[in-house]
Structures are given as structure tokens and as C-alpha cells.
Amino acid sequence: MDANTTRNESFSLDCELVNPNSTLANVYFLSAVYSMYAIIFVVALIGNSFVCYIVLSSPPMRTVTNFFILNLAIGDVLITLLCVPFTSVSLLMQYWPFGGILCPVVNYSQALSVFVSAYTLVAISIDKYMIIMWPLKPRISKRFATYIIALVWLIAGITVLPSATFTTLINDENILGTSAYEQCDKYICAEEYSKVGQEYGDLYTKVLMFLQYVIPSLVLLFTYTSIGVVIWCHRIPGEAENSRDQRIAKNKTKVGDKGFLLALETNHSDFIAGWIPFRIGILHVRQICNGIFKCDPTIHKTHCLK
């Protein structure tokens, strides 16, 4: 009798899918992780709800930029409500306990909110780029900004449809490599492309990474770099003609320019640095899992069993 058979039999006796000797079974580890997720949930929900309230309740706050920030907050609320609690519990329990309806809904909502956030950041950067590059031209109107936001949601909703279409509950031993789920009538929520071919799942992953990450990153890099060059290297016509005025103007604008650039670059850096590990992990999830865990190569976003 091999090790896998022994493990499957032990799972079938008590239906505890988490190895009692693993970190996931440690009560202190679970308490710490659940506490951190709870803090993230509360802070994200209250903070983003507060942003929505301020923009919607105060007419002076209803500017084009704030409309885009409102859209970012709505996307964050969506991922906070539909992703944080369900994903954290399923990962720690090593199975999906929330039923078949929420499985594709949660996966779709996560992909949708990421796409919306990425292209809302792009819209903000382009708006700022146009203000700096062509300051005398009229800004985009609030109505046009609303159209942009609606278009972002529409394109995002269509683009990530495969995330919902191919997400399903799985407990097949041939797919997961263990009979524990089938014997215990428990399931994993994952994207599964075996019916159409795993190559399509891999292609979708790469296309999604290109649309969600590569294109927005390049646009943000171009716009914010251009803004920085204009602010730091070009003198605005009519500004500070004598040496005294130049020193005063330089001192006045230095702090403001640095703060403005810092805010822009922080948005850009957070987006790139925050998503690099996730996107690399998604592209190489099967190689990582096969080296450390028990996984099946036909699952797109594999739920690994330690």
C-alpha cells in the first residue's frame, strides 16, 4: 500500500482534508490568518464605503477624478464582499463549503474587480496626462467620464466571462489525484478546462495577464514618466523671470511637485509590485504545485493539497 492510498484512507475515515501535522491545522496560525483577513475586510469595507459616501453626498466632490476614484472604491467593495471571506475560508479549509452558485460568482467577481481597477487607474493617468500636456484644452466632462466608466465595466464583464463559464465544483479523483473529496462529498472551486483542452486555459491565462497587467502597466509607466519629465524639466511660460522670483517659485513648487509625483508613482508602483507575484504564480501554478504539492495539470487555477 503506497503513501497516497494510506493518506486517502485516512481522509475517508474522518473527512478532515487538512493534514493534522500541517501548518493549516495549527490553531495559532489559523487564528492569526483569520484575524488578519477580518481586519482587511473591515478596513476595506469601511474605508471604501466612506469614499463612496463622500463623493456621492457632496456636490463639490463630484469631479472627474473623483468619479474614477469612486469607481475604484466600488470595485474594492465588490472584491471585499465577494472574495475576501469566501477565498480565505476555502483556502484554509482546503475545500469549497459555499455551494455551487457562489463558486463561479466569486471567481468572476474577483477577475472583474481586478480588470475594472486596472483600467480605472489607466483612465486616471490619461486624464492627468492630458491636463499636464495640454493645460489649455478643456478636460473631459463628467458625462464623458461616466461613459468611460460604463465602458470599462462592459469590456471587463465580457473579457472575464470564461472565469465564470469554466469555474465549477470538482471532486473527481481523476482530476484531483485523491479520492478524499469524492468520498467525503466535498468539492474544490476551480477553473477546469479539460472539456475544451488545457491549452485554451493556458491561452486565456496569458491573454488575461496581457490585458489586466501588461497593457495597464505600460500605459501607467508612459503617462506618469511623461508627467514627471514635464513637471521637473520644463519651465512653464511666464513663470519667475528674475533670480529672486525663480528661487521663491522653485521653493514653492518643489514640495508640491514632489508630492504630486510621489502620489502618481505610488499608484503605479503599487499596481505593478502588488500584482507581479500573483500573475507569475498563476502562470506557473502547476509547476509550483507539482514540485511541492499534489496537483493535477488539467486544473487552471489549481487548489493544491499539501
The CATH number for 100's domain is 1.20.1070.10
pLDDT surpassing 90 at residue 156: yes
Question: For the chain, how many structural domains are there in total?
Answer: 1
DSSP category for residue 301: S
Mean pLDDT is lowest, of 155-164, 216-225, 260-269, for: 260-269
CA distances from 82 to 12, 62, 210 (A): 31, 27, 24
Grid coordinates in use for 100? 455551487
Cα separation, 68 vs 140, in Å, equals: 12
**Helix, strand, coil % in the chain, rounded to nearest 5:** 75, 5, 20
Cα separation, 127 vs 223, in Å, equals: 9
The owner of cell 503599487 is: 270
The owner of cell 465544483 is: 169
Q: Which domain holds residue 288?
A: 15-292
Tell me whether residue 306 is in a domain: no
Q: Determine contact, residues 133/226, Cβ cutoff 8 Å.
A: yes
Tell me whether residue 191 is in a domain: yes
Q: Give me the pLDDT at residue 146, please.
A: 93
Q: Which residue type, as a one-letter code, is found at position 98?
A: F
- The average pLDDT across 117-133 equals 89
Q: Give me the pLDDT at residue 178, please.
A: 64
pLDDT surpassing 80 at residue 140: yes
Tell me whether residue 126 is in a domain: yes
Q: Which residue type, as a one-letter code, is found at position 188?
A: I
> How confident is residue 40, by pLDDT bands cut at 50, 70 and 90?
very high
> How confident is residue 28, by pLDDT bands cut at 50, 70 and 90?
confident
Tell me whether residue 196 is in a domain: yes
Percent of the chain surpassing pLDDT 70: 68
pLDDT surpassing 70 at residue 7: no
Q: What is the pTM of this model?
A: 0.74
Q: What average pLDDT is seen over the chain? A: 76
Query: In 284-300, where does DSSP find H-type helix?
Result: 285-292
Grid coordinates in use for 99? 455551494
Tell me whether residue 6 is in a domain: no
Tell me whether residue 5 is in a domain: no
Cα separation, 81 vs 93, in Å, equals: 19
